[in-house]
């Protein structure tokens, strides 16, 4: 498709850049990586001054599309038009010059730089001889910060800032560069519900100020709350658009491609004996910082305890400490009265702990090994899979055929390498392996991260089945929706401390306050005073 | 609209519990060493430090101290400080910086007095110690600046040794042929750049493991210069090795400044390379931390993708920095043949390029820190040669080992968690 593209090298080609608003159009964008077609003839029009949502499952091709738009990838074919003028971005600098800004899912900030240095980078004001003049940048940051109520200190080091503030730094970065279209890639993934509300608020202000926004998400609730237009992408193709008043079920069907049951039908828990106990658990890093600070909790047989919290508040340390992966651990962890602290990983596993690590690709599977081999990763030493130090191939293959059928793993053959599977199927393999032993405790970290909706349903059912079989279950998830869906009780971690344990049906608003660092009593207090003054936000309930 | 009241964030960092006993134990051992060696085995008599040279305009009187008394005093202070360090570790979990610093200074003073008191001449010329140290410091320093340039941009530079050697060889050859030391100096910079071209090509364009490329380049340059040395430089014309008799760079004394005791003869009676070195350290520090160029280079070394997303060409920045580093190290290599000695010999850099790497790490990738580390290594190295001349009872081979033992200690123990640029050694590949 050799359209007469304007190759842009300097800002002068963009007189419209200084106009109040921009219109953006994508025509037939195709991007393939080898044989994989990530984007297949995508057409999209973002009208000026609108919030346009891109809805799609993980891996549907949303981020690829935005990276094409931002000049990070060059499209295999297709055209981008800014205010009806075809453009060709050879890099992010061109996209920025055209008035497009992007807040990446993983922030593009240098941790050891200050806010001002990060904002200035690439668009520095300098005095004679290239000497940095950060005063000008600081002034601009303060100006934007005041305008939107950002509360950002230009001289703070980025690595010291909480994620929510880092995200604002990213937004400032785009605004300082006069972006008229702002792409937000899964911006709420790292935020508490309250921070998400604040972000929505900011998006509204930006829109009122004439900035168009492309909002990328897989969370239906958020997309419905904020969008003017919704475009749904599935497997690299636009499968339809919807208005924000479409029902959640309609959107989910469009996104997944078939009818989905969004609510899990589970019976109430019938808790038995409290067999898993954590007492005053403290985990430290080598520098002596407390990553987990004096946490006490217990889980009963036949009960799911959900652990909620924004990423990086001690959840990883909690699960790893149980498994025996941490060096500096104080306190005690008991299972059936037996102490686990100080035991080797092998001993912990042998005492009946099943563990799904949060990063399945790095910690849960050996990608180069076959599905069959991955299914016996922790059982390779025992009969019938090995005898006298020699693997029994036939038994391994038989086990694989059974497990693949039982867990509905979609694979050509169980002898294929595990990393040829999709995220959802990889997770099924991990779950199949961990649930194949008789368990006394099941811990799953981020059980459905990056997994398609269809597989989520299946995985959730298996976890509940394990609960109903009488195993104590611990679920760690940064997706509050998932915790609310599965958990019978919810523990909230913040900065390594336990903010409290509340019943599974608690409100999002209460959990959000706890995730932001309020102990349960204070959070309930604040909820009460708000409902009295009648300012409880709409949509704060699940 | 926002309903969240910002509660006081509990700080994650109450670093207390994990105590490190490494340092108090080390100080304790050294204090015992001080008592045994400086007092019990200490020399009687005096130690003389000669501060001025006979030719100096201002004469500062020599410093004469009684060796035994100083030994006793030093030991008492060391023991007291070690005890203090132990108490601080027990009570607060960490040791105040001044305790370690004071300990180090006092211990070094005690060591010097003990060693000099034990020599047959019982005196040492401080000017000789420091100006002689420059012979070792200069190449280390240039090498570490090459490292700063390339590693701040995220390319590990193990090839410093090769860059120095290429510079030394080329300077000698070109200065011999042209008869002009300045042309030789320029050629040395070019030679350093050529080594860098290979480093950049393989590590950035072909994404070969940077450490392996560096090591291979060192071996390559060593072999190549060794071969050319045999084939060209040893060729005699009329009984003279005319290709290995480079013109020398003259020393330039700066009026007044060169008359300051110790500092004058050390820093202000140097060749042009020495002055360039002083300017380079300051310029590089200013450039890295105060200019747009430096901000971009550091961003590329810390988080290349972030730099890319704001329109900075990551790989071009890296290539340019690696090349600039090559030029700097090449000039450092020229110091060997145009200033320090009068001809090239095989593998004459003798591992100083690796010590430069250690200085870079010891100085925490900061030009000024690396320069101070280079000075430290230089003084330690030169002390050894001076002492063997002064007739110390300690074995020369043992003394020769000390700077390297110091290097290992410095790099492993005292730097703490190394603060390398986050993306150092990570190639940047765009999808």
Phi-psi sector, A365: left (phi>0), alpha (psi -120 to 50), beta: beta
Report, in angstroms and rounded to the nearest whole number, the Rg of chain B calculated over CA atoms: 25
**Average pLDDT of the segment spanning B342-367:** 91
DSSP letters along B252-264, please? EEPTTGGGSTTHH
**Average pLDDT of the segment spanning A99-120:** 93
**Closest in B2, B290, B312 to A131, CB measured:** B290
List the structure tokens of B75: 């030991």
Domain with B49, as residue range(s), is 22-118
Residue A280: what pLDDT? 95
Phi-psi sector, B45: left (phi>0), alpha (psi -120 to 50), beta: left
B431 touches chain A (CB under 8 A): yes
Subunit contact A72:B430, Cβ cutoff 8 A = yes
Residues A181 and A46 sit within 8 Å (Cβ to Cβ): yes
B18 touches chain A (CB under 8 A): yes
Evaluate if residue A434 carries a pLDDT over 50: yes
Nearest-Cα distance to chain A for B273, in Å, is: 25
With beta carbons under 8 A apart, name residues in chain B contacting A122.
296, 307, 310-312
With beta carbons under 8 A apart, name residues in chain A contacting B304.
none
Worst-scoring range by mean pLDDT, A13-27, A169-183, A339-353, B92-106? A13-27
Evaluate if residue A10 carries a pLDDT over 60: no
Subunit contact B4:A194, Cβ cutoff 8 A = yes
Q: How far apart are the first and last CA of chain B?
A: 42
More confident residue, A474 or B268: A474
Worst-scoring range by mean pLDDT, A166-180, A245-259, B309-323, B405-419? B405-419
Which residues 348-377 of chain A have a CB within 8 Å of chain B?
Answer: none
With beta carbons under 8 A apart, name residues in chain B contacting A495.
9-12
More confident residue, B16 or B198: B198
B225 inside domain: yes
Dist. CA A380–CA A451, nearest whole Å: 27
B13 inside domain: no
B15 inside domain: no
Q: Number of folded domains in chain B? A: 2
Dist. CA A6–CA A86, nearest whole Å: 6
Whether B113 and B138 share a structural domain = no
B7 touches chain A (CB under 8 A): yes
Whether B303 and B230 share a structural domain = yes
Residue A218: strand pairing partners: none
Whether B48 and B147 share a structural domain = no
B4 inside domain: no
List domains and CATH numbers for chain A. 22-99+179-256 (3.40.50.300), 274-352+438-533 (3.40.50.300), 367-426 (no CATH)
Summarised one tens digit per residue, pLDDT across range B275-310 is 999 999 999 999 999 999 999 999 999 999 999 999
Top-ranked range on mean pLDDT: pick from A160-164, A279-283, B9-13: A279-283
Which residues 91-120 of chain A have a CB within 8 Å of chain B?
Answer: 91-94, 96, 102, 104, 108-113, 117-118, 120
Residue A306: what pLDDT? 95
B279 touches chain A (CB under 8 A): no
Dist. CA A135–CA B260, nearest whole Å: 40
Residue A270: what pLDDT? 87
Subunit contact A108:B7, Cβ cutoff 8 A = no
Subunit contact A121:B295, Cβ cutoff 8 A = yes
Dist. CA A76–CA A73, nearest whole Å: 9
Residue B215: what pLDDT? 96
B389 touches chain A (CB under 8 A): no
More confident residue, B417 or B239: B239
Subunit contact A132:B292, Cβ cutoff 8 A = yes
Report, in angstroms and rounded to the nearest whole number, the Rg of chain A calculated over CA atoms: 25
Subunit contact A72:B7, Cβ cutoff 8 A = no
Which residues 120-159 of chain A have a CB within 8 Å of chain B?
Answer: 120-124, 126, 129-132
Closest CA to A157 of A106, A117, A103, A187: A117
Return the number of other C-beta atoms located less than 10 Å from residue A233's C-beta: 25
More confident residue, A312 or B197: B197
Summarised one tens digit per residue, pLDDT across range B36-71 is 888 888 787 888 888 777 666 667 788 888 888 888
- SS3 category, B405: helix
3-state secondary structure A516-531: CCCCHHHHHHHHHHHH
pLDDT band at A113 (very low <50, low <70, confident <90, very high): very high
More confident residue, B9 or B391: B391
Residue B404: what pLDDT? 72
More confident residue, B315 or A542: B315
**Average pLDDT of the segment spanning A398-419:** 89
**Closest in A110, A201, A287 to B306, CB measured:** A110
Closest residue, chain A, to B291 (C-alpha): A131
Summarised one tens digit per residue, pLDDT across range B355-405 is 999 899 888 899 999 999 899 888 888 887 787 777 777 777 777 777 677
Whether B350 and B247 share a structural domain = yes
Residue A221: what pLDDT? 86
Summarised one tens digit per residue, pLDDT across range A485-538 is 999 999 999 999 999 999 998 999 999 999 989 999 999 999 888 887 754 444
Whether B101 and B205 share a structural domain = no
List the structure tokens of A125: 């004001």
Asked whether the bond before A384 is cis by omega within 30 degrees of 0, the reply is yes
Distances (CA, A) of A50 to A22, A23, A225, A408, B61: 10, 9, 14, 42, 82
Residue A474: what pLDDT? 96
pLDDT band at B201 (very low <50, low <70, confident <90, very high): very high
Closest residue, chain A, to B13 (C-alpha): A289
Whether B99 and B137 share a structural domain = no
pLDDT band at A450 (very low <50, low <70, confident <90, very high): confident
Residue B108: what pLDDT? 82
Q: Under 8 Å CB-to-CB from B359, ≥6 apart: which residues?
A: B140, B141, B143, B144, B370, B373, B374, B377
Nearest-Cα distance to chain B for A165, in Å, is: 13
Which residues 195-234 of chain B have a CB within 8 Å of chain A?
Answer: none
pLDDT band at A9 (very low <50, low <70, confident <90, very high): very low
Pairing of strands A212-217, A181-185: parallel
Summarised one tens digit per residue, pLDDT across range B399-422 is 777 767 766 776 665 555 557 888
SS3 content of chain A, % helix, strand, coil (to 5): 35, 25, 40
Residue B326: what pLDDT? 97
Return the number of other C-beta atoms located less than 10 Å from residue B16's C-beta: 13
B146 inside domain: yes
Return the number of other C-beta atoms located less than 10 Å from residue A65's C-beta: 28
Q: Best mutation site among A34, A102, A164, A289 for testing chain B: the one with the most B CBs within 10 Å? A: A289
Q: Under 8 Å CB-to-CB from A318, ≥6 apart: which residues?
A: A278, A281, A283, A292, A295, A307, A476, A493
Element (H or E) spanning A423, and its range? Answer: helix A423-434
With beta carbons under 8 A apart, name residues in chain B contacting A96.
310-311
Which residues 427-446 of chain A have a CB within 8 Å of chain B?
Answer: none
Evaluate if residue B103 carries a pLDDT over 90: no
B12 touches chain A (CB under 8 A): yes
> Exposed (0-12), middle (13-18) or buried (19+): which is B1, by Cβ within 10 Å?
exposed
CATH number of the domain enclosing B198 = 1.10.3470
Whether B146 and B219 share a structural domain = yes
- SS3 category, A36: strand
What is the ipTM score, two decimals?
0.84
With beta carbons under 8 A apart, name residues in chain A contacting B17.
282, 284, 288, 290, 328, 330
Summarised one tens digit per residue, pLDDT across range A131-173 is 999 999 999 999 999 988 888 999 999 988 888 899 999 999 9
Evaluate if residue B30 carries a pLDDT over 80: yes
Pairing of strands A126-127, A131-132: antiparallel
Whether B240 and B163 share a structural domain = yes
Dist. CA A496–CA A314, nearest whole Å: 5
Element (H or E) spanning A278, and its range? Answer: strand A274-284
Whether B94 and B146 share a structural domain = no
Whether B109 and B147 share a structural domain = no
A530 touches chain B (CB under 8 A): yes
List the structure tokens of B240: 């003279």
Evaluate if residue B317 carries a pLDDT over 50: yes
Subunit contact A518:B310, Cβ cutoff 8 A = no
- SS3 category, A146: helix
B316 touches chain A (CB under 8 A): no
List the structure tokens of B394: 């300690």
**Average pLDDT of the segment spanning A339-345:** 92
List the structure tokens of A390: 């020699």
Residues A521 and A542 sit within 8 Å (Cβ to Cβ): no
B90 inside domain: yes
B45 inside domain: yes
Q: Best mutation site among A72, A288, A326, A520 for testing chain B: the one with the most B CBs within 10 Å? A: A288
Residue A540: what pLDDT? 41
| Percent of chain B at pLDDT exceeding 90 | 50
Nearest-Cα distance to chain A for B281, in Å, is: 17
With beta carbons under 8 A apart, name residues in chain A contacting B10.
494-495, 497, 517
Nearest-Cα distance to chain B for A17, in Å, is: 17
Residue A126: strand pairing partners: A132
Q: Under 8 Å CB-to-CB from B284, ≥6 apart: which residues?
A: B145, B148, B149, B367
B305 inside domain: yes
**Average pLDDT of the segment spanning B68-88:** 91
List the structure tokens of B31: 């204090």
Nearest-Cα distance to chain A for B417, in Å, is: 10
CA neighbours closer than 13 Å in the CB half-sphere of residue B336: 34
Closest CA to A67 of A38, A25, A36: A38
Q: Look over chain B and give the mean of its residue pLDDT values, rounded to a whole number.
A: 86
With beta carbons under 8 A apart, name residues in chain B contacting A291.
12
Residue B413: what pLDDT? 58
With beta carbons under 8 A apart, name residues in chain B contacting A531.
none
**Closest in A201, A288, A526 to B1, CB measured:** A201
Handedness of CA A307, A310, A314, A320 (dihedral sign): positive
Closest CA to B308 of A431, A365, A95, A244: A95
Evaluate if residue B14 carries a pLDDT over 60: no
Dist. CA A69–CA A324, nearest whole Å: 45
Whether B92 and B158 share a structural domain = no
Dist. CA B222–CA B347, nearest whole Å: 6
Residue B18: what pLDDT? 55
Which residues 179-218 of chain A have a CB within 8 Å of chain B?
Answer: 194-195, 197-198, 201
Whether B167 and B108 share a structural domain = no
> Exposed (0-12), middle (13-18) or buried (19+): which is A464, by Cβ within 10 Å?
buried
């Amino acid at each position: 498709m050799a359209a007469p593209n304007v190759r842009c090298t300097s800002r002068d080609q963009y007189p419209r850049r200084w106009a109040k608003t921009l219109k953006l159009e994508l025509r037939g964008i195709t991007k393939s990586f080898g044989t994989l077609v990530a984007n297949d003839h995508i057409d999209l029009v973002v009208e000026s001054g609108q919030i346009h949502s891109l809805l799609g499952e993980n891996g549907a091709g949303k981020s690829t599309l935005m990276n094409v738009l931002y000049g990070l990838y060059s499209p295999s074919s297709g055209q981008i038009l800014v205010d009806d003028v075809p453009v060709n971005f050879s890099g992010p600098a061109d996209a920025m010059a055209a008035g497009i800004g992007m807040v990446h899912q993983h922030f593009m900030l240098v941790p050891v730089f200050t806010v001002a240095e990060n904002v200035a980078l690439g668009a520095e004001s300098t005095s004679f001889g290239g000497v940095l003049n950060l005063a000008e940048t600081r002034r601009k940051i303060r100006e934007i910060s005041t305008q939107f109520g950002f509360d950002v200190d230009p001289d703070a080091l980025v690595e010291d800032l909480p994620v929510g503030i880092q995200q604002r730094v990213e937004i400032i970065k785009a605004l300082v560069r006069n972006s008229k279209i702002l792409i937000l890639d899964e911006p709420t993934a790292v935020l508490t519900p309250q921070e998400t509300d604040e972000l929505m608020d900011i998006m509204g202000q930006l829109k009122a100020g004439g900035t168009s926004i492309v909002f990328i998400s897989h969370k239906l609730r958020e997309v419905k709350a904020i969008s003017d237009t919704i475009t749904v992408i599935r497997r690299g193709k636009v499968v339809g658009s919807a208005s924000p008043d479409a029902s959640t079920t309609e959107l989910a069907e469009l996104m997944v491609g078939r009818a989905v049951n969004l609510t899990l039908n589970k019976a109430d828990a019938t808790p038995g004996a409290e067999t898993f106990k954590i007492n005053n658990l403290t985990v430290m890093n080598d520098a002596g910082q407390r990553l987990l600070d004096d946490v006490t909790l217990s889980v009963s047989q036949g009960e799911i305890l959900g652990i909620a919290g924004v990423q990086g508040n001690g959840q990883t340390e909690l699960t790893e400490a149980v498994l025996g992966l941490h060096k500096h651990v104080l306190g005690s962890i008991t299972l059936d009265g037996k102490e686990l602290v100080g035991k080797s990983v092998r001993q912990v596993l042998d005492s009946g702990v099943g563990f799904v690590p949060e990063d399945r690709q790095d910690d849960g599977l050996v990608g180069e090994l076959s599905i069959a081999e991955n299914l016996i990763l922790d059982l390779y030493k025992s009969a019938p899979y090995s005898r006298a130090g020699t693997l029994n191939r036939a038994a391994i293959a038989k086990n694989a055929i059974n497990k693949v059928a039982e867990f509905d793993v979609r694979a050509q053959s169980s002898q294929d390498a595990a990393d040829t599977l999709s995220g959802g199927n990889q997770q099924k393999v991990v779950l199949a392996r961990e649930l194949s032993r008789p368990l006394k405790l099941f811990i799953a970290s981020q059980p459905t991260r990056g997994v398609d909706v269809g597989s989520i349903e299946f995985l959730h059912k298996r976890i509940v089945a394990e609960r109903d079989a009488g195993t104590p279950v611990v679920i760690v998830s940064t997706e509050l929706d998932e915790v609310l869906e599965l958990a019978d009780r919810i523990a909230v971690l913040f900065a390594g401390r336990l903010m409290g344990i509340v019943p599974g049906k608690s409100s999002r608003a209460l959990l959000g306050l706890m995730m932001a660092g309020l102990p349960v009593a204070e959070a309930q207090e604040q909820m009460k005073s708000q409902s009295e003054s009648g300012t409880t936000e709409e949509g704060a309930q699940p | 609209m926002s309903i969240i009241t910002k509660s006081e964030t509990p700080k994650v960092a109450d670093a207390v519990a994990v105590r490190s006993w490494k340092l108090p134990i080390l100080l304790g051992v050294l204090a015992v060493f001080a008592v045994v060696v400086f007092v019990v085995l200490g020399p009687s008599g005096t130690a003389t430090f000669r501060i001025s040279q006979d030719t100096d305009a201002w004469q500062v009187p020599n410093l004469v101290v009684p060796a035994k008394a100083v030994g006793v005093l030093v030991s008492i202070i060391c023991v007291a400080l070690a005890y203090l360090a132990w108490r601080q570790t027990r009570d607060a979990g960490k040791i105040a910086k001044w305790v370690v610093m004071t300990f180090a200074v006092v211990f070094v003073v005690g060591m010097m007095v003990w060693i000099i008191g034990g020599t047959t001449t019982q005196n040492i010329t401080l000017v000789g110690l420091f100006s002689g140290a420059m012979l070792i410091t200069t190449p280390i320093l240039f090498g570490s600046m090459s490292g700063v340039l390339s590693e701040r941009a995220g390319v590990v530079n193990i090839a410093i040794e090769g860059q120095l050697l290429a510079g030394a060889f080329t300077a000698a050859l070109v200065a011999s042929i042209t008869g002009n030391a300045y042309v030789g100096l320029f050629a040395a910079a070019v030679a350093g750049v050529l080594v860098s071209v290979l480093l950049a090509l393989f590590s950035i364009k072909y994404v070969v493991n940077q450490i392996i490329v560096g090591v291979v380049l060192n071996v390559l340059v060593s072999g190549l210069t060794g071969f050319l040395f045999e084939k060209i430089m040893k060729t005699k014309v009329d009984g003279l090795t005319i290709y290995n008799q480079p013109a020398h760079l003259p020393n330039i004394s700066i009026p007044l400044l060169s008359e300051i005791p110790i500092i004058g003869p050390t820093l202000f009676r140097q060749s042009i390379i020495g002055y360039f070195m002083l300017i380079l350290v300051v310029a590089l520090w200013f450039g890295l931390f105060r200019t747009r160029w430096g901000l971009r280079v550091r961003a590329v070394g810390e988080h290349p993708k972030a730099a890319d997303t704001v329109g900075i060409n990551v790989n071009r920045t890296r290539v340019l920095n690696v090349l600039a580093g090559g030029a700097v190290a090449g000039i450092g290599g020229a110091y060997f043949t145009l200033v320090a000695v009068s001809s090239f010999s095989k593998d004459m850099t003798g591992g100083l390029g690796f010590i430069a790497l250690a200085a870079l790490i010891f100085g925490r990738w900061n030009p000024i820190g690396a320069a101070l580390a280079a000075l430290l290594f230089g003084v330690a190295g030169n002390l050894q040669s001076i002492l063997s001349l002064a007739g110390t009872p300690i074995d020369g081979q043992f003394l020769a080992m000390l700077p390297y033992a110091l290097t290992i200690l410095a790099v492993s123990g005292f730097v703490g968690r190394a603060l390398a640029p986050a993306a150092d050694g990570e190639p940047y590949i765009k999808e």
